Amino acid sequence: MKFLDRLEEWIITFLMGAATLLIFVAVVHRYAAGLPIPGLQDALLKIDLSWAQELCIYMFVWMAKFGAAYGVRTGIHVGVDVMINRLPPDTHKLYVLFGLARGRPVHGHRRHAGRDASSGTSRTPTRCRPTSSCRSGSSTCASRSART
């Protein structure tokens, strides 16, 4: 278990450091590419770092997920539990169980948002594909309207 805790710390540290370094390089690249130095500007404009911001966003999301899990496990995660901790032990247990039971359906609902509960199919309408079966100016396909 100690190995997994250390691994999680290393993953969080790596993601934070790599994202910071990546953004630093992208900002310096953007700034230096704008300088009117012919050889440098031409060389830097050939380097495409448009992916850096997107990768950094994903890295920060994963860092936050690992960090929140680590914080909850070690007890350093921010929580508003002053009132709950002052309750008698039996009442405290009831409130904690209620919170856990209530949290599960909420997060389960978010995971399945956009799905029809009865059939499991998506509630969003399908869009018209640009084929010969589509009617001009319509957002529905002829094949879809034939089904309904």
> pLDDT tens across 77-109, in order?
666 677 888 889 999 899 888 887 876 665 555
Question: Percentage of the chain with pLDDT > 70?
Answer: 66
**Predicted TM-score (pTM) of this structure:** 0.52
Beta carbons of 59 and 8 less than 8 angstroms apart: no
What residues contact 45, with CB distance under 8 A and at least 6 apart? 33
Q: What is the pLDDT of residue 142?
A: 43
| Residue found under tokens 């450091």 | 17
What three-state secondary structure class fits 16?
helix
Residue 130, phi then psi, degrees to nearest 5: -75, 85
What residues contact 87, with CB distance under 8 A and at least 6 apart? 95
